[in-house]
Structure formats: C-alpha cells, structure tokens
Amino acid sequence: MTHRRFLILFLSALCAILVLVSVQSSGAAQVRSAANGKKVRQAPQTDGERVFQQNCSRCHAAPEGFSPSIAGTVARHMRVRASLSREDEEALLRFLNP
C-alpha cells in the first residue's frame, strides 16, 4: 500500500470521527439554556460521580456492582492508579458506597 492510500484511509477515519463528535455535540447542545447559553445539568452530579467520570471511566467501564466491604479498597486503589487527592478519594468512596 502506498503512503498516499494509507493517508487517505487515515484521513477518512479522522473525518468519520469528527462527524460523530459534531453530531453528538449538537445533541448535547440541546440541554443548554436558550436564554443565557449556560449549561443546564439534567441531574445534579455529586463530587464522587464527577471523580469517577473524570478519572475512572476514562479508562474502563464501571463494574456492575460489588460488595460494599471492598469499596474502600477500590477507592484507595484508584487513588494510587489515578493519582487522586485525599478529598477525591473520599468523594469517590461516598459515591461507591453511599
């Protein structure tokens, strides 16, 4: 395969990704307030949920349920792996085992 064909393939894939992003972003824009353009949250997000989304779910999906007795171990493991602060670890623990 020539480099040109490879480049075309790569650019095509990149375009497809950008189209996906734009379509999804337009859907997300519907939750913005028409009056002032500020984002309107569909549901309140706890600190723990924010920590989970910003740190844990960037790499992996959430496991479907686990024993509360290991919630602290999971949070501490994430603290080391994702370099969380102590506050974030505590928030994550409250989210995992409220």
Tokens, residue 9: 């393939």
Q: Which of residues 52-81 bind other proteins (CB under 8 A)?
A: 54, 58-61, 63-64, 66-74, 76-77, 79-81
Q: How far is 52 from 75, CA to CA, in rounded Å? A: 10
48 vs 84, which CB is nearer to other proteins?
Answer: 84
Strand partners, 39: 32
Does residue 45 interact with other proteins by CB under 8 A? no
34 vs 85, which CB is nearer to other proteins?
Answer: 85
CB 13 to other proteins: min, Å? 6
* Cβ-proximal residues to 31 (8 Å cutoff; 6+ apart), any chain: 39, 40, 42
